[in-house]
Amino acid sequence: MSARREASNWGRWGPDDERGTLNLLTADAVLGGVAAIRSGKVYGLGLPINATAAPIVEGRGEPRRLTLTCDSDDERYEAYGAAVGVGANQDILVLASHHGTHLDALSHVFADRTMYNGFPSSTFKAFSGAGRLGVEKLGVFAGRAVLLDVAAAAGVECLPPGHVITRAELESCATAEGVDVREGDILLIRTGWLEQWQRSAGGVSGPGGAGQPGIGLDACGFIRDHDIAAVGADNSAVEAIPFDKDTFLSVHIELLVTLGVPLLEHLSLAELARDRRYEVLLCVAPLPVTGAGGSPVNPIAIA
Amino acid sequence: MSARREASNWGRWGPDDERGTLNLLTADAVLGGVAAIRSGKVYGLGLPINATAAPIVEGRGEPRRLTLTCDSDDERYEAYGAAVGVGANQDILVLASHHGTHLDALSHVFADRTMYNGFPSSTFKAFSGAGRLGVEKLGVFAGRAVLLDVAAAAGVECLPPGHVITRAELESCATAEGVDVREGDILLIRTGWLEQWQRSAGGVSGPGGAGQPGIGLDACGFIRDHDIAAVGADNSAVEAIPFDKDTFLSVHIELLVTLGVPLLEHLSLAELARDRRYEVLLCVAPLPVTGAGGSPVNPIAIA
Amino acid sequence: MSARREASNWGRWGPDDERGTLNLLTADAVLGGVAAIRSGKVYGLGLPINATAAPIVEGRGEPRRLTLTCDSDDERYEAYGAAVGVGANQDILVLASHHGTHLDALSHVFADRTMYNGFPSSTFKAFSGAGRLGVEKLGVFAGRAVLLDVAAAAGVECLPPGHVITRAELESCATAEGVDVREGDILLIRTGWLEQWQRSAGGVSGPGGAGQPGIGLDACGFIRDHDIAAVGADNSAVEAIPFDKDTFLSVHIELLVTLGVPLLEHLSLAELARDRRYEVLLCVAPLPVTGAGGSPVNPIAIA
Amino acid sequence: MSARREASNWGRWGPDDERGTLNLLTADAVLGGVAAIRSGKVYGLGLPINATAAPIVEGRGEPRRLTLTCDSDDERYEAYGAAVGVGANQDILVLASHHGTHLDALSHVFADRTMYNGFPSSTFKAFSGAGRLGVEKLGVFAGRAVLLDVAAAAGVECLPPGHVITRAELESCATAEGVDVREGDILLIRTGWLEQWQRSAGGVSGPGGAGQPGIGLDACGFIRDHDIAAVGADNSAVEAIPFDKDTFLSVHIELLVTLGVPLLEHLSLAELARDRRYEVLLCVAPLPVTGAGGSPVNPIAIA
């Protein structure tokens, strides 16, 4: 554990901190993101939520929208005094908090049965969920985001399956794009994988799925050294699959557990990339579900 | 129907329009919201999602977070090759799309079996939901929002139950706050009701619940004349309960059906009000659930 | 409609009847089933409920068992006064009422927008479900069941896909087995399909699935003439797929709508067949879910 | 632990046994139950499943039936080739496995982090549920059941809240009814509590709920000495609340953990009691949900 603590952010914001590097998103950092706005164009980075629009990761199941009320419920509404033909359509949603485009809370992953800042994994209970580091502790956040279109920089539609993106690739991509990466930035990494998945038959993804390009441990050094506030990517796990160093969830452990960096996965970055918007204000609004290990999100980029 | 069409926005953005007044949120309108930012302070306007933090409206039930995986699933992760003590916490969410702080899509309410822009209520199917006007058609949106703290302007903690807020009250509130309301603005109305509910025992709300302050049809004229893009409030239905003119969902019908104005309900406006932030950039990111009549949201205000 | 009424059971047990041919299961009929018991051996005819043990019919989704409490919830139980190490394992179930081995209630299918006994399909509401003919109206039932092992009588492991079992095949099967079919009996038909599905890779079944053997309209005459109380089979729809006469759900319509005969699907009949138990007491206990169109069941045969 | 083992059934049916006292339900025991049948009258002992018909035990939530398809889905069925007006009503169920009338599997409760037959509580995993003693291991079962109407024997509509039923009360009740209790019987105990709950406003029950009559540890001796196969009652926990000896779940621990006796709770025994049917064939058909700690059931009594 000592090795982890030395190079980690544990204790950096106090022993009770549950927000990790989101602490870097000060009002000044937010204003830095606001300053990046040029055109007022708004981008939604979330995939549609239905049975086919996003990879179904093993065990998480298909998201479901079920009808709660519709115009067959006229009698119910008439009992409330509604005029004939007046009523409401309502739904019930059943979905994994990590389905589709989502935010990994700092309680999402543990190593040595320990989560970020030293909280034991046992603080996540079956009934009540995360007693520590739940997604509700992160709250909404906003800041300057930098899109590193690594696929475009490499001149490919999609990086090869299993390709491990390095620190050098991130740096040369930033240089090619002419953007600087600053402390407290949110990093968005485009591998091209999601668009390739969309062009293909779709289907199942995740730990047991086929290979995906993504970052490795070397790139985590870039994230640590730049004091990145959050990292997102257009793949299933931000990190490469198979995992770097053949270590299960190696990058998740480094970012979520050691550094306290929340992750955004399955981001839809195609339109931002097409418009070459490399600096944006990014607004992320997880559902504040008490005790959840993550939340579906639909991040907003304003360019 | 003809009366509705005359004073309505039906057809204004074409016969296939499914976004209503969100069409007013042009890039210029977004930049107008960006220009309102002063301090970089970020506010989350969503209530926590758990069994007690928001009113449980009849029929919608309590939201549930259920554990999908936690550290008891060590064998499952070891089968993936994880080291001992490495794993993930994951959840399944079951909740009404209109639970807690949420966005009403334009398919949420119908009158004369007809929704905004003339789409029949029958286009909402039990199995597939909204074929027209689903929440996914709205997408994410951002713009200048004006907070009208009607309770504060009236010098009360909470407007009385059933109080119908008028156009004149909105106008005098804006004057008192020194803010102008512009075309394409998002209107946020604070009645004080949610905070009062939080101070009380909490419990059930909604059509069959006790009285709530909110706007009436007269105030809808203010919204129409100012070409407001969206309206939110800190109560259960934006509108007063009992409903204005003793007409079931009268304001919902006027705003959602006739004018195509999406509604934000159960907004947590206390902190914005305390800070007297009357002009903000508001970012709203509904989950793009295909065919849903609404979505839980956690709107972000940047002041 | 008149043709249907003439050969139908509509009105036979009064205009308000919601139990159909289960009315035939009089106390005497039950005693007739009891008289069939020889050995006291008990058979469960329900398939396991998990993601893979039964065909996943399109739209119904996988059944889910989610943990509500387990031994991670020690603090919760200690708050109740439990000693250390004392607690409870509990689950939440999410599943289609027609998943796996299940009972079709008389509200399950409609034709000409009409259900059994003339109740309109519109009496099934999105919010409250079946106002008429819900599964709770059937209640539990028991009676003499006759297993017709048509596959064995044909000397095959499984009847061919799409094979339409006729009245003559049922009659010759009964003769071969040496059993008589009596008024008020429950008919169990083995096609061999389920076991073949289990031997194969499994997967999706149902209306859009591959062909299945099952009964056709001709065999429905056998059921009507013998005044059968309920019909079950080891396939997905009792009836053949593609549907007999190229008419969508033709046998469902004849049995559920015209005759009011509840159906049992995906029955596990292998062990009964292997033991050549052709006469048994069958006990069927649908969950009395108010307004449901069906229920998962685990029928008990006592031989 | 040694004390528990001495007086327990651990190991009695081998170290891998997962059925406990259901092993006593031999074919002969089943025939003993069959011999109790006189009239052929069938009783369903399950409460209706809806939001109000059964106590909502803390944490388990209300059961939900949600519509999957109904006659609004005409286009979906027409796409399958259905004639106009032909379609199906289907539901999705969301409910606790221990809601309403239900069976506690042997994995339901643990003490000293240990379940029946010595299996550790850690064999119940969040993701996969009970690796040992899941409800699917019990299977369906049938046997002779004896109804001990303790409330009637005491001459009251309902035993007092918190009343701890003793062995002597069970014995004198059996004597008064003129029934003998035999090895391998299923014991059904009527306290009158459920009917009183139904007459009252209903509401929440369970560990944090008000007092209930039920059996105590002394009565467990009766169950052990008679080698009872399963025990059911018309209250929330079979046992008295507050728990006997002020020990959390004391009777659950004795019956489920020490003796391996499955429990049936919230049984609707009013009609059996009214008819004075003290000996019946009882058939119990839990849903064989892989890994579940219990199942809703609708037990069938044939008298």
Q: Would you state the pLDDT for residue D207?
A: 46
Asked whether residue B2 carries a pLDDT value surpassing 50, the answer given is: no
Task: Tell me: pLDDT of C2 over 80.
Answer: no
Alpha helices (H) along D7-161: 27-34, 74-79, 135-138, 150-153
Under a CB-based contact definition with an 8 Å cutoff, are residues A233 and A270 in contact? no
| Side-chain half-sphere CA neighbours of C158 within 13 A | 18
Contact residues of C toward A, CB < 8 A: 61-62, 64, 67-70, 72-73, 75-76, 94, 122, 124-128
Q: Which chains touch C (3 or more CB pairs under 8 A)?
A: A, B, D
* Type of residue at D176: A
> Do C66 and B92 count as a contact with CB atoms less than 8 A apart?
yes
Determine contact, residues D232/D264, Cβ cutoff 8 Å. Answer: yes
Encode pLDDT of D211-270 as tens digits. 999 999 999 999 999 999 999 999 999 999 999 999 999 999 999 999 999 999 999 999
pLDDT tops 50 at residue A208: no
Contacts for B224 with CB less than 8 Å, ≥ 6 apart: B7, B259
Confidence of residue C208 (pLDDT cuts 50, 70, 90): very low
Record the tokens describing residue D89, joined without a space: 């009503």
Q: Which chains does chain D touch, 3 or more C-beta pairs < 8 A? A: A, B, C
CA distances from D139 to A28, C38, D284, D293 (A): 63, 21, 9, 13
Cα distance from D17 to chain A (closest Cα, Å)?
Answer: 27
Q: Report the C-alpha gap between B204 and D34 in whole angstroms.
A: 50
Query: Which positions ≥6 away from C47 have C-beta within 8 Å?
Result: C53, C54, C100, C101, C194, C266, C268, D288
Would the CB atoms of A76 and C124 count as touching at under 8 Å? no
Q: How far apart are CA D263 and CA B275, in angstroms?
A: 57
Q: Which residue of D has its CA nearest to A92?
A: D66
pLDDT score for B5: 52
Distance from the Cα of B117 to chain D's closest Cα (Å) equals 21
Q: How confident is the model at residue D6 (pLDDT cuts 50, 70, 90)?
A: low
Residue among C93, C104, C107, C136 with most chain D CBs within 10 A, to mutate: C93
Which ipTM score applies to this complex?
0.96
Residue A204 has pLDDT above 60, yes or no: no
Contact between residue D86 and residue C248 where contact means Cβ atoms under 8 Å apart: yes
- pLDDT for residue D131 is more than 50: yes
pLDDT given at position D58: 87
CB pairs under 8 A between C and D: 322
Question: For residue C1, what pLDDT is reported?
Answer: 42
Mean per-residue pLDDT of chain A: 95
* The pLDDT of residue D116: 98
Contact C65 D291 (CB under 8 A): yes
For residue A96, what are its two tokens?
Answer: 């994994």
pTM metric for this prediction: 0.96
Q: Where are the beta strands (DSSP E) in chain D?
A: 42-44, 56-57, 64-69, 87-88, 90-96, 102-104, 109-110, 124-125, 129-130, 141-149, 164-165, 186-190, 204-205, 214-215, 230-233, 263-265, 279-284, 294-296, 300-302
Interface test with chain C among D65, D95, D263, by most C beta carbons within 10 Å: D65
- DSSP code for A258: I
Task: Average the pLDDT over B33-39 and give the result.
Answer: 98
Radius of gyration of chain B (CA): 20
> Hey, are the CB atoms on B125 and A70 less than 8 Å from each other?
yes
Give the model confidence (pLDDT) of B212-229 as tens digits: 999 999 999 999 999 999
More confident residue, B131 or A210: B131
How many angstroms separate the CA atoms of B229 and B184, rounded?
5
**What's the pLDDT score for residue C7?**
83
Nearest CB to D126 within list B73, B94, B127: B73
**Residue B123 DSSP SS3:** helix
pLDDT of C275 above 50: yes
pLDDT value for D210: 77
Bigger pLDDT: B208 or C215?
Answer: C215
Q: Provide the pLDDT confidence category of residue D204 given band limits of 50, 70 and 90.
A: low
Report, as an integer, the average pLDDT of A264-281: 98
Do the strands B230-233 and B263-265 form a parallel or antiparallel pair, or are they unpaired?
parallel
Answer whether the bond into residue B207 is a cis peptide, omega within 30°: no
For residues B245 and B254, give the distance between their C-alpha atoms in angstroms, rounded to a whole number.
Answer: 12
Q: What is the pLDDT of residues C75-84, one digit of tens each?
A: 999 998 999 9
Cα-flanking dihedrals φ and ψ of residue C145, to 5°?
-115, 140
Contact C73 A125 (CB under 8 A): yes
Find the CB nearest C293 among D91, D121, D249: D91
Distance (Å, whole) CA A232 – CA A146: 10
Contact C126 A61 (CB under 8 A): no
List of chain B residues whose C-beta atoms are within 8 Å of the C-beta of residue A289: 48-50, 63, 65, 91, 93
Q: How confident is the model at residue B4 (pLDDT cuts 50, 70, 90)?
A: low
Contacts of B125 in chain A (CB under 8 A): 67, 70
β-sheet bridge partners, residue B239: B215
Using DSSP bridges, classify how beta strands D230-233 and D186-190 pair: parallel, antiparallel or unpaired: parallel
- Which of D81, D139, D207 is facing C80, going by the closest CB pair? D207
Contact D66 A70 (CB under 8 A): no
Confidence of residue D203 (pLDDT cuts 50, 70, 90): low
Q: Which amino acid is at C140?
A: V
- What is the chain B residue with the closest CA to A92? B96
Percent over 70 (pLDDT), chain D: 95
In this model, does residue C230 exceed pLDDT 90? yes
Q: Contact partners of A by the rule of 3+ C-beta pairs under 8 A?
A: B, C, D
In this structure, what token pair is assigned to residue B3? 């009366």
Residue type, A260: G
Structure tokens at C301: 């045969």
Q: What is the pLDDT of residues A9-64, one digit of tens each?
A: 999 999 999 999 999 999 999 999 999 999 999 999 999 999 999 999 989 999 99
Strands C64-69 and C204-205 turn out to be unpaired
Q: Tell if the CB–CB gap between A88 and B110 is shorter than 8 Å.
A: yes
Q: Which two tokens stand for residue A272?
A: 């931002």
Question: In this complex, which of B72, B92, B127 lies closest to C72 when CB atoms are compared?
Answer: B72
Q: Over 70: is that where the pLDDT of A296 sits?
A: yes
Mean pLDDT of B281-291: 98
Report chain A residues touching chain C, CB-CB < 8 A: 61-62, 64, 67-70, 72-73, 75-76, 94, 122, 124-128
What is the token pair recorded at B197? 């509910």
Instruction: Answer yes or no: is pLDDT of D5 > 60.
Output: no
Q: Is the pLDDT of residue C106 over 80?
A: yes
pLDDT of residue C210: 77
Confidence of residue C58 (pLDDT cuts 50, 70, 90): confident
Which of B7, B143, D300, D118 is CA-nearest to residue C281? D300
Which amino acid belongs to residue A77? Y
What residues of D are in contact with residue A67 (Cβ under 8 Å)? 66-67
- pLDDT above 80 for C258: yes
| Substitution target from D58, D92, D127 for chain A, most A beta carbons within 10 A | D92
Give the number of A-C residue pairs with CB atoms closer than 8 Å: 45
C-alpha–C-alpha distance, residues B38 and B281, integer Å:
10
Q: Which residues on chain A are in Cβ contact (under 8 Å) with B136? A: 48-49
Q: What is the pLDDT of residues A126-135, one digit of tens each?
A: 999 999 999 9
Secondary structure class of B140 (helix, strand, coil): coil
**Residue A177: is it exposed, middle or buried by C-beta count within 10 angstroms (0-12/13-18/19+)?**
middle
pLDDT band at B43 (very low <50, low <70, confident <90, very high): very high
Record: contact B287-A46, CB cut-off 8 A? yes
- Provide DSSP, D72-109: GGHHHHHHTTPPTT-EE-EEEEEEETTSSSEEE-TTSE
- One-letter amino acid at D125 equals K
Interchain pair C107, D89: CB under 8 A: yes
Q: Which two tokens stand for residue D73?
A: 């889905």
Tens digit of pLDDT for each residue in D98-130? 999 999 999 999 999 999 999 999 999 999 999
Average pLDDT (C136-154) is 98
pLDDT above 50 for B208: no
Q: What is the overall mean pLDDT for chain C?
A: 95
- Please report the pLDDT score of residue B1 as a whole number: 42
